[in-house]
Amino acid sequence: MTDEQVGDLTGRRLGNYRIDGVLGKGGMSVMYRATDVRLGRKVALKVIGEHLGADAEFRERFVDEARNTAAIDHPNIVPLYDFGEIDGMHYLGMRLVDGSDLASLISDGPMRPERAVGLLEQVADALDTLHRRGLVHLDVKPANVLVTKRESIREHVYVADFGLTRRGATGHRTRGGDFLGSPTYAAPEHLRGEPLDGRTDQYALACVLFACLTGRPPYPGDVQTVIKGHLNLAPPSAVRVVPSLPRAIDAVLATGMAKDPARRYNSCVELLAAASEVLTSSRPRETPPRETPHETSRRETPPGGNGRPPQPPQQPHGSRPGAMPGPAQRGPGRVPPPGYGSPAPEPVPPTPTAPTGNYSPQPQNPQPSWLVPLLLSAIVVLAVLLAVVIIATA
């Protein structure tokens, strides 16, 4: 499609829509930012080329796409508001996503593997939902993955611009020769015009994953070079482009991009689960920074100590082995309560300890060894004195 076939409609009215500007252009349509003047709502308006509107097969496909998209309720699929035909131009009115597409996010180079997996996991879930309904997206590419942070804390993804077809269909071109989809991310069976199913979208999703991890599509070049790569060349190595990637990711991508659909994963979610496992398990473990001798000394010295490393406790002379230390033997500082770095202490029955240092416990019922003889001597003396007194008075 050329600009002559669909001119710039900015500033014009198309039914209830005032067209405010161009969002992007594709092979068969132009996406506009527009305002629904009836509802006062901003929308994304996809206008199909007039030359395609004359194709009866394409008109049927267009209506089928619109109705199927409107029937899907999924958080990662752009909601469709309206569709119709005015003055020979077919249009789709859908939610305007305030964000960027994946193509612009990787235009300056690859993104972090964790981020790529987090975004494409949402795409995989949306695609598998389509596949369970017997539909194939048929145009999975970075430009059709919209990313926004306006609707949730984390980045939220919408899959847009469907080239929907029924599973098992073989048509990959219109009667006018326009290719349905993007050759840059098209599966071999799509390019050959063979029957299509969900594995066709999975191949394209694996190509998008490759692009996110490397910053470029798997088979760059002109259209003929790209098609030859998808049909005849082995899946390229992402590790050769970005050596920091784990080697195992090449096997995941090779399975998702297998020429034979039967050798691919069972679902798009399974493809992303395999990629996530590889990229997550290969991340280097974080190691704590090496401590300086001063930091080590501070860590080992208990609070309130004298700066010297703690010495092992010495058994006091005369104390029973295994007895609990007395107050003078306990180290300085406070012991943290259970749950804050120290285990709960087990109850231990109190045992007598020998006095140490300046600690002088009060004796209970003291009985010195010299007390009994002293008392006996006093009794004898008193008895003698009493006898002398009695004799003297007689």
Query: Which residues belong to the active site?
Result: 139
Q: What is the dihedral of CA 384, 387, 388, 394, to 10 degrees?
A: 180
Supply φ then ψ for residue 223, to 5 degrees. Answer: -60, -45
Interatomic CA distance for residues 375 and 134, integer angstroms: 114
Determine the length of the chain: 394
Cβ atoms of 310 and 302 within 8 Å: the answer is yes
- For residue 138, which of 167, 117, 96, 176 has the smallest C-alpha distance? 167
Q: Nearest-5° angle of CA 43, CA 25, CA 216?
A: 115
Give the CA count within 13 Å in the CB-facing half-sphere of 35. 9
- For residue 208, which of 148, 269, 119 has the smallest C-alpha distance? 119
Cβ atoms of 74 and 157 within 8 Å: the answer is no
Interatomic CA distance for residues 122 and 266, integer angstroms: 17
The position carrying tokens 């949402």 is 122
Q: Where do runs of H (alpha helix) occur along 142-197?
A: 188-192
